Structures are given as structure tokens and as C-alpha cells.
Amino acid sequence: MYLQMTDLMITFKHETENSQMIGVAICTHAGFAVGLKEACEMISGEQKDFVALGFTFSDELIEYSEKLKELTKDFDEGCIYITDMINASPYNAALVCIYNTNNWVLSGACLPMVIEILIARSVEGMTMNKIIDQVKDSCQFYSGFTSSNDVFK
């Protein structure tokens, strides 16, 4: 079957002006959050509606969740909170933030996950639930396991 070129074109939101995007907030232990954000921007370039906040020994759970809420309050299209470990303090704080919203908290933060979300959210017509489904599917492919026996035969 012959496909026309226009069928293969996806419109990305950053090509259209003033488009709203789903926000992304990375919240993890210590400097991981800020480091992960920097790593993402090294690959994807500077991103809008993208914030990071590390949890430290001087943070109290509720105060930290208030800081997170403050950082994400302008994300009108909703926000995906990406945390490192399930049931850990940054995760618990993000749960406080999503109370009474349609937002999501993910754990298991890693570079391919965040980049996949950043790309997915910029596709025209993408919804929060579609992004989450897509990331759920690809989570198992993020890690590679390779032994020297496999490579250096």
C-alpha cells in the first residue's frame, strides 16, 4: 500500500506557538533529580514545564510536598511526577501532591523513561493516560544486560 508522506507526519507541540504541555516534575533523593534533569536536557535540549527537586536530610515530608506543589502550580495541563523509589519519601510527597487531581506518580526514574515522556507529551493530541500506557509498555526495555561473553566472542 502506498502511504502519502503526510500520513507519516507527527506534529510536535513545540512547533506551534503558545501550546500547553503536560508538566513533568522529577522528585528523588538528594541530587539525583537535578542531575537527571540536566542529563535529559543534555539530550533533549532545554524543556519547558520541566522541574526537578531533590529531597534532603533537612526536608520534612509535608514541607517538601508543599515545595513540589508550588513548583508545579502553573502546569495547567496536569503534571507527571517522576520519583526514584516506590514508597520512599519523595514518592509519598508526590502522592500528597496528586490528591484530588488526575495527575500521576511514577517510580523507577531513569533517563530513557524521562526522555520518552518528554517526547510523548510534545506530540499533538497526546493525553496523560496515553503517555502513562506508553511508558508502562516500554519500561521493560530500558535496561540492558550484557556479559563480556555475549560481546567478545
The residue to which cell 522529577 is assigned: 26
- Taking the complex as a whole, the smallest distance from the CB of residue 73 to other proteins amounts, in Å, to 18
- Taking the complex as a whole, the smallest distance from the CB of residue 57 to other proteins amounts, in Å, to 5
Q: Which is nearer to other proteins, 43 or 86 (CB)?
A: 86
DSSP letter assigned to residue 144: -
- Taking the complex as a whole, the smallest distance from the CB of residue 89 to other proteins amounts, in Å, to 4
Binding range to other proteins, per CB under 8 A, among 3-11, 37-45, 58-66, 136-144? 58-66
Task: Report the C-alpha gap between 129 and 44 in whole angstroms.
Answer: 22
Query: In the β-sheet with 79-83, what is the strand arrangement from edge to edge?
Result: 50-55, 23-29, 79-83, 104-106
When asked if residue 89 is in the footprint of other proteins (CB under 8 A), the reply is: yes
Task: Report the C-alpha gap between 64 and 54 in whole angstroms.
Answer: 9
Tell me which H or E stretch contains 18.
Answer: none
Size of interface with other proteins, in residues (CB under 8 A)? 17
When asked if residue 96 is in the footprint of other proteins (CB under 8 A), the reply is: yes
Of 139, 37, 21, give the one whose Cα is nearest residue 79.
21
Binds other proteins by CB under 8 A, chosen from 29, 115, 126, 134: 29
Residues near other proteins (CB under 8 A) are: 29, 57-62, 85-89, 91-92, 95-96, 99
